[in-house]
Structure 1
Amino acid sequence: MIPALRPGDKIAIVATARKISFPEIEMAVRTFESWGLQVVLGQTIGASYNYFAGDDALRLQDLQQMLDDESIKAIVCARGGYGTTRIIDQVDFTKFQKQPKWLVGFSDVTALHSHIHNLGIESIHGIMPLLFPKEGAAASIETLRGALFGEELTYTAAPHPFNRTGTATGQLVGGNLSMLHTLTGTRSDSSTEGKILFLEDLCEYLYHVDRMMVHLDRSGKLANLAGLIIGDMSDMNDTPVSFVKNAYEIILEHSGKYNYPVCYGFPVGHEPLNLALICGREAKLEVREEGATLFYL
């Protein structure tokens, strides 16, 4: 298990995907420092190469340096967007495996979560520095602090008519649906068998959601889960010829033939309330008529 952070520890902020400026993460830096942490900024903060936070070589070098630096106790990805999969196969995780540290982020960072899950290392799916100033994000930031500092975390979700009641135990895995779809068949693809899978997404066309859920099912990702958690499916798009079903209805269609417990409306994803989840940790999901609870074992 990765050691909990303590005041005085160093954490790094890097950008593995879309470019970002220092003013956009300034609030996060101040917040981390208020927790007693020393913040080290990567070379990718403020770097620009077209869409990206520097070219592939710079983003790879920045991430590699922070992974290999034994004084750095956590690496926080500044934002998502796109770009992590362009460099992940060139990353050398040898030193990281010997001395693991927290990797934090979500959305495009799902690639890192899935990749290091195959190495048996936990990571934190949570709010990123770009989003710290967002109205309503304070609770998400607090759950990230709790996860980093090793506090006990228990989360609840309101009841939803699509929920399927029951209890599931297993490692917690997942993240962005589009990214998990993209990772299928790559070195970053990871098994979902016997695990609690969580999914979220943003700005996808509804027929894309259907296509991705069909693909997950066809590739065996849905059949043998211990449980399923559906987070926010934010700002979904439709086509002129409507797909008719919304994202939750689409997911219900493809997961409804299985018998494991399912929780809809869990607060994880591209909304202000984005609870920090520890990927790879054994967890228990309890779905009841009055709502759902998730906690770690």
Structure 2
Amino acid sequence: MIPALQPGDRIAIISTARKITTPELEPAIRSFESWGLDVVLGQTIDASYNQFAGDDALRLQDFQKMLDDETIKAIVCARGGYGTTRIMDQVDFSKFKKQPKWVIGFSDVTTIHSHIHNLGIETIHAIMPVLFGREGTIESVETLRKVLFGENINYSSAPHAFNRTGTAKGQLVGGNLSMLHTLTGTKSDINTEGKILFLEDLDEYLYHIDRMMVHLNRSGKLSNLAGLIVGDMSDMRDNAIPFGKTAYEIIMEHTGKYNYPVCYNFPVGHEPLNLALLCGRKAVLEISESGVELRYI
């Protein structure tokens, strides 16, 4: 179990993917400091190599440094985009395994969540610093604070017409659908059997969603789940000739033959309300006609 943060702890902000500047981080830095934390900015902040926060070598070096630094109690990924998969196979987690610390982020950071899950260590899927201070994100930031400081937290969401009722128990895993699809067959690929999987995505063509769900199904990722949480499928796109189904309808089609409980429109993903989830923590998912409850055990 990773220790909860305490006032005075040092946390690092780095970027393993797209570039970002210090001014963009100021709302997040103010928030972290108001929690009593000491913020350290990595070398990738303000670095630039085309769209990346520095070249692969710099991003790897920055992530490795913060993993190995025993004074750093949490690593917060500044933003997503693309680039994390380019460095994952070169990261040395040997010191991290001996002294784990929180790693936080979502979207492209799904790569890190999945890789670390295979080490048997928990991570936090949550809002990232680039989004702090934006309209509607106050609750998302507060859920991250509660998780980091070890406060008990349970979530509920409204019923949805596509929900399949029931109760599921298992480790919570998942993240960005596109990234989970990309990780298939790599060292960062996760075993979903007996687990509660959550999915979200952004800016994808509907036929891409279908293709990825077909692939997850064919590769066995959907057949033996304890339960499924479908988060936001934001800014979906379509072709001139419509695909004919929404993202939720596509997911419902590919999971319809299974019996595990499924909920839709859970507040996780690329929307202002993005609840902090503990990846790797055992949880109970209860889906009824009146709504959805998610709690950790």
What TM-score, normalized to structure 1? 1.00
How far is 1:170 from its partner?
0.1
How far is 1:123 from its partner?
0.1
Distance in 2 separating the partners of 1:50 and 1:287: 45
* SS of equivalent residue, structure 2 residue 209: helix
Distance in 2 separating the partners of 1:162 and 1:115: 31
Distance in 1 separating the partners of 2:46 and 2:257: 48
Matched, 1:2 2:11: no
Distance in 1 separating the partners of 2:224 and 2:6: 38
Give RMSD over aligned pairs: 0.3
Partner of 1:220: 220
Distance in 2 separating the partners of 1:148 and 1:256: 36
Deviations 1:9-33 (A, max 9, x none): 0000000000000011110001000
Instruction: Spell out the pairing of 1:223-238 with structure 2 (5 A cutoff).
Output: 223-238=223-238
Partner of 1:115: 115
Matched, 1:284 2:284: yes
Distance in 1 separating the partners of 2:29 and 2:200: 26
Partner of 1:157: 157
Letter of the 1:86 partner, please give it.
Answer: R
Matched, 1:141 2:144: no
Unaligned 5+ runs, structure 1: none
* SS of equivalent residue, structure 1 residue 270: coil
Distance in 1 separating the partners of 2:152 and 2:66: 27
Distance in 1 separating the partners of 2:256 and 2:103: 33
Partner of 1:185: 185
Partner of 2:198: 198
Partner of 2:82: 82
Partner of 2:131: 131
Distance in 1 separating the partners of 2:136 and 2:163: 26
Deviations 1:183-209 (A, max 9, x none): 000000010000000000000000000
How far is 1:2 from its partner?
0.3
Letter of the 1:17 partner, please give it.
Answer: A
Partner of 1:35: 35
Distance in 2 separating the partners of 1:275 and 1:139: 8
Letter of the 1:223 partner, please give it.
Answer: S
Letter of the 1:50 partner, please give it.
Answer: N
Partner of 1:52: 52
Partner of 1:17: 17
Partner of 2:26: 26
* SS of equivalent residue, structure 1 residue 168: strand
How far is 1:285 from its partner?
0.1
How far is 1:134 from its partner?
1.4
Distance in 2 separating the partners of 1:136 and 1:162: 26
Distance in 1 separating the partners of 2:82 and 2:158: 32
What TM-score, normalized to structure 2? 1.00
Structure 1's consecutive aligned runs of 4 or more residues displaced over 6 angstroms after TM superposition are none
Distance in 2 separating the partners of 1:257 and 1:4: 41
Q: How many residues align?
A: 297
How far is 1:133 from its partner?
1.9
* SS of equivalent residue, structure 1 residue 187: coil
* SS of equivalent residue, structure 1 residue 237: coil
* SS of equivalent residue, structure 1 residue 283: strand
* SS of equivalent residue, structure 1 residue 190: coil
Distance in 2 separating the partners of 1:73 and 1:256: 42
How far is 1:65 from its partner?
0.2
